[in-house]
Amino acid sequence: MAIFIMLFPLAIFSDKLKEPWLLICLGVIVPTALLLGEPIYNSVMDSYEAVKQQRPGSTRVRQALANIAVQRWQMEAPIWGHGVVELGPKMVEFMPIGSHHSWYGLLFVKGIVGALALAIPMIISALYFLWHALTSKTSQIAFCLLTVFICYSFFENLEILSYLFWPALLWFGFAFSEKDKSN
């Protein structure tokens, strides 16, 4: 739900970040949100807990898988990871460790090296697309698509979703190969 709430303002305003009226609006909205931060935070957390309570068994299994992945990664293979996916214990219904979250899965299977191999290109690409979104609709769309990737990486395993997001990867290629129009 948070992805869709966040995408509409990104799609509408990411090409207008240098315009004074948007900066003035942000100058008013951000301090107001900070002053009202606690009620907003409580409302968001209540909504998040309500969503989690819809499927408490799934939430329990996901949290247990995350705890096992992080604990085994830290204790057994912090740099390079385990190299293979392993089945979890009975308490997680024998689900593969790290299978429900890209970052825990990367830490468990590929170690800190694998996690950084995904995080660094994502951060650099996001900054590149955000900067070029000011002048290019292609980069603006690529930024929104990458935002969806980043959000999904915290809840799903991106490898499993590859059949869905390959068109976005093509769009990233278009955005990276586009000539800078400001020159």
pLDDT digits (tens, 9 = 90+) for 119-131: 999 999 999 999 9
Read off the pTM: 0.76
Provide the mean pLDDT of the chain: 86
Residues in Cβ contact with 57 at an 8 Å cutoff, skipping those fewer than 6 apart = none
Q: Any idea what DSSP says for residue 180?
A: P
| Beta carbons within 8 Å of 125's beta carbon, 6+ residues apart | 146, 172
Could you write out the DSSP letters of every residue in 9-74?
HHHHHGGGTT-HHHHHHHHHHHHHHHHTHHHHHHHHHHHHHHHHHHSHHHHHHHHHHHHHHHHHHH
Give 2-19 pLDDT, tens digit per residue.
667 777 777 777 778 788
Residues 39-63: pLDDT tens digits?
A: 888 888 888 788 778 888 878 888 8
Band (pLDDT 50/70/90 cuts) for residue 1 is: low
Q: Write out the two tokens for 32.
A: 């107001």
Nearest to 168 by CA among 125, 110, 134: 125
What does the block give as tokens for 170? 């093509």
